[in-house]
Amino acid sequence: MPLTAHGTGAPVIDPDRFRHVLGHYPTGVVVVTALDPSGTAIGMTVGSFTSVSLDPPLVAFLPDKGSSSWRALRASGERFCVNVLAAGQEDVCRAVAVRKTDKFHDIGWRPSPAGNPVIDGAVAWIDCVTEQLHDAGDHHIVVGRVTHLQAGDEETPLLFHRGAYGSFNPH
């Protein structure tokens, strides 16, 4: 009899195999930003971001529950900004993903209409207010109501695919 997950009858999926197979699906790379209570820019790199609804305008991202960056964003309040990184911003992606403090030390940004950091050179940015927070295994699903948004130049976005960063050039 095959192993099952928590008595559900569903087969147990090896986490490494899961990551490997899903790594074949390319994802965009965003940095979710906010300001902490002292006015310092905070953020986290996220590869799980999607549009949800046109009416009302909703987007979502899925942070790891154990992330200290996610805890800091939650503690900062209900407002956040999603910055879609450009193909040439892998350094920004890595800096925000790796640094524990002072993540924006050498990253240029300006305030959005809601005061959230908009990263210089981002392909687009989306200001949001948290609409819903859902439990989803070891992650949360954060649904944000869009309050402001803007596309930048016609830069190509940074993508993550099969463990590496790259870009997409349309035909």
pLDDT in tens, 18-69: 888 877 777 899 999 999 999 999 999 999 999 999 999 999 999 999 999 9
pLDDT at 139: 96
User: How does the average pLDDT of the chain come out, rounded?
Assistant: 91
Structural domain contains residue 154: yes
| pLDDT > 80? residue 169 | no
Q: Return the exposure string of 9-20: e unless at least 16 CB atoms fall within 10 Å of the residue's CB, then b.
A: eeeeeeeeeeee
Structural domain contains residue 11: no
| Domain at 37, CATH number | 2.30.110.10
What 3-state DSSP class applies to 73? helix
pTM of the model: 0.89
With a CB cutoff of 8 Å and minimum separation 6, the contacts of 24 are 161, 162
Residue-number span of the structural domain to which 90 is assigned: 28-160
Structural domain contains residue 171: no
